[in-house]
């Protein structure tokens, strides 16, 4: 019932994974997905792709092993002003971008600082997803974040790896619930993501689905049900 996974990492993200884009595509096909979004870490992450890697993605095949591929990036938010780690021109050549806070690149600020940083980073037209903002290290004002997301045409993700028992962002369930609460309140969609580093967890949304069922979150507010809908969302 879910057609795509928008947040995946291949060998170009470092972190020890040796899987290629084709490996991810093959795994996606096995999981019956028709589309994946490749979103390697931006250049500020140690051992990740350099700017030239992201610049060349526009020449990469749009279809591998029968699976449509979107080429994006998981940007690092670098400071509380919301500055990010790819230049405007390179971003323009990609399908979309995720904005995330990672401890290597930004120290957790106050709720106001973190929220302000996310909202400012949302303003770039290629930014379409806020990555793992359920992280307990980076408190945010979820109501403000969802309102801004609605304004700028961005969605918050429900990150399966955060919710997994092996997750390393603290117990994110209550933050994930706040995301669901405010998205339902303002009728703004969410997107499920595996955040798989390598092929192992491609299309694995099991913990996110658990939460969605518990909270009876409306299916029509989940973008993963239609690749068409997601594509028109990122093109809007």
Residue ranges binding Zn ion (CB under 5 A):
74, 100, 195
Provide the minimum distance between the beta carbon of 102 and Zn ion in the complex, in angstroms, as a whole number.
Answer: 6
Residues 98, 108: Cα–Cα separation, whole Å: 18
Provide the minimum distance between the beta carbon of 216 and Zn ion in the complex, in angstroms, as a whole number.
Answer: 28
Nearer to Zn ion, 64 or 102 (CB): 102
Nearer to Zn ion, 136 or 184 (CB): 136
Q: To which H or E segment does residue 36 belong?
A: strand 35-41
Residues 143, 155: Cα–Cα separation, whole Å: 13
CB of 224 closer than 8 Å to CB of 2: yes
Provide the minimum distance between the beta carbon of 187 and Zn ion in the complex, in angstroms, as a whole number.
Answer: 27
Nearer to Zn ion, 197 or 218 (CB): 197
The 3-state DSSP composition of the chain as helix, strand, coil percent (nearest 5) reads: 40, 20, 40
Provide the minimum distance between the beta carbon of 197 and Zn ion in the complex, in angstroms, as a whole number.
Answer: 7
DSSP strand pairing (96-100 vs 63-64): unpaired
The single-letter DSSP state of residue 156 is: E
Pick from 208, 199, 202: nearest CA to 167: 208
Nearer to Zn ion, 74 or 95 (CB): 74
Nearer to Zn ion, 115 or 159 (CB): 159
Provide the minimum distance between the beta carbon of 117 and Zn ion in the complex, in angstroms, as a whole number.
Answer: 15
Pick from 150, 152, 153: nearest CA to 187: 150
């Amino acid at each position: 019932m879910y057609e795509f996974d928008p947040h995946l990492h291949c060998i170009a993200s470092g972190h020890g994974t040796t899987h290629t884009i084709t490996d991810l595509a093959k795994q996606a096909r096995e999981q019956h997905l028709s589309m994946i979004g490749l979103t390697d870490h931006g250049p500020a992450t140690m051992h990740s792709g350099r700017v030239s890697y992201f610049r060349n993605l526009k020449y990469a095949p749009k279809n591998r092993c029968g699976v449509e591929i979107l080429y994006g990036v998981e940007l690092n938010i670098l400071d509380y002003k919301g500055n990010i780690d790819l230049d405007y021109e390179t971003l323009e050549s990609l399908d979309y971008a995720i904005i995330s806070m990672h401890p290597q690149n930004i120290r957790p600020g106050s709720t106001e600082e973190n929220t302000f940083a996310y909202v400012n980073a949302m303003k770039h037209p290629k930014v379409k997803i806020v990555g793992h903002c359920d992280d307990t290290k980076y408190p945010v004002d979820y109501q403000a974040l969802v309102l801004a997301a609605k304004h700028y045409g961005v969605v918050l993700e429900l990150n399966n790896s955060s919710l997994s028992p092996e997750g390393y962002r603290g117990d994110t369930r209550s933050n994930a619930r706040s995301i669901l609460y405010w998205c339902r309140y303002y009728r703004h969609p969410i997107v499920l993501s595996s955040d798989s580093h390598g092929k192992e967890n491609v299309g694995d949304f099991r913990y996110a689905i658990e939460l969605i069922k518990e909270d009876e979150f409306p299916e029509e507010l989940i973008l993963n049900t239609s690749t068409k809908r997601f594509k028109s969302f990122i093109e809007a």
